Structure 1
Amino acid sequence: MMDVALALVAGFLVAALGTPVGVSGAVFLLPLQAGVLGVSGPAVSATNLVYNAMSTPLALLRAPRTAGRAGELLVVAGVCVPAAVLGAYGRVTLFADPARFRLLVIAVLAPLGVQLLVRAVRGARVRDGAAPRVRTAPLAALALVTGAVGGTIGIGGGSMLAPVLVAVAGQSVARAAPLALTSTLSTSLSGLVAYSLFDAFHIGTPPAAPVWHVGIATGLGGVAGALLGAAVARRAGEKALTLLLGTTATATAAGYALQLAG
């Protein structure tokens, strides 16, 4: 019962802090699951996807609407389905080894943390809403890479896709948000199916199926946290939240690096 209560609180907090600045809170649940809630092996990634699958739809519904994006959204959603399956397979095989998995998490968390810290110090740059559309081929390639990595770690692809679209493709945060959230939701749903099937057919290293009661508890907390996120942003300010999340991501990456060094 204690693990369910802790998972609820954790899901609520990471969603409340992450949603206003467009970062999936799932990445911050990794150490908690493995160190406190007793989730082990590839099941850590699968359980994180339960959180995403429950908390992302609300954020997607609240995302800014931009005309003429249906084609881009379909490209991202379609590409992320096989990407998530590929990522899940990599997690139960190549990255089932804890040391390799930690290296992958560090490779994702460290740049994310630095990017958030730089964004907090410099302030968000407001871009023109008429930024050029991303061409189909580059967008599909980005979705494939971020979806595969997101499926492996269990964070979806949006946390990696959004910064690239803003920094490299010249998209505004408002234009990038629906694509990033679509990536996260598509990756999470298809990844959950893949992890469950891999576990059922004994493919790769077990356990691979999600720990459902932990994932559902964090997801329910995430739904409530996402609802609070907008109010938190107004009170604390986006800069303060971005700085907090950047510090947390960087510190988590440093903690994993110390574990590897030890």
Structure 2
Amino acid sequence: MAAAAHRFEGPSDLHLHSAVSDGTEPPADVMAAAHRHGLRTVALTDHDTTSGWAEAAEAATSLGMTLLPGMELSSRWEWRSVHVLAYLVDPDDAPLRALTERIRDSRLTRAQEMAARIGRDYDLTWADIAAQTSDGATVGRPHIADALVARGYVRDRAEAFGGILSPRSDYYVALYAPDPVTAVSRVAGAGGVPIIAHPAGRAGVLPRPLLTEMLDAGLAGFELGHRENTAEGIRILSRVVADRDLIVTGSSDYHGQGKPNVPGEHTTDDDMVARIVGRATGSAPVYP
């Protein structure tokens, strides 16, 4: 079915993670969880990888759901992470693939260095961390956190991220990530639709000059429906949305047991889903 002829009938959750990155469930189980919560359009957005798309597509369509293949691309501005949701990119686009491969390589070497540092003070080995990952998954801090939980050093991921794995900790190692303008440009260049994830959290809204650069590079909008956003940040970004006629999404950022977030706790309006699909040229939704 052509995208232009398809009527999106929500609810739609456009930010879900599987065990391919830092979620705790295989892509098929993530789709099943979304379906149990009444969702009808979803996006799998694992960090810096598209490797879960095929499994998610098969599961979603078998359940009568529409899948928007996506990804959450890492970027960094000064000290803070800026995550760019990338919908309907061409997964074979060479510049984007090169960028995500570099980020994933950095995640692995970073995790190995952090494991070595932690291992000097705690009985934690690389084998402990590897045991917390699924085949082909991108190893990251959440897997180290899960290993620390399994060893009994912390109660949950939140405690690990607040202490041992915190950027303030001596165990912390920085991750390579491109600047946000480059990230947006790569997504747009791959025919995708870039949306800033949880853009109004406790770290504050990005400076307007940087947002303008990102918009000029192809940024399509903001994920304003997210539990981490603050009311003041939403108010500020809503003015930008109105000024530039941007896309607004709402999503759960579901990670299975890795976070308390529940599928469908925030959703995206049907007309906004249609705008994303209409703007994309890299790949197409997978319809049931």
Q: Which of these two proteins has the greater Rg computed from alpha carbons? A: 2
Report if TM-score (shorter chain) is over 0.5.
no
| Structure with the larger strand share | 2
Tell which has more relative contact order, 1 or 2 (C-alpha 8 A, sep 6+).
Answer: 1
Q: TM-score, normalised on structure 2?
A: 0.27
Q: TM-score, normalised on structure 1?
A: 0.29
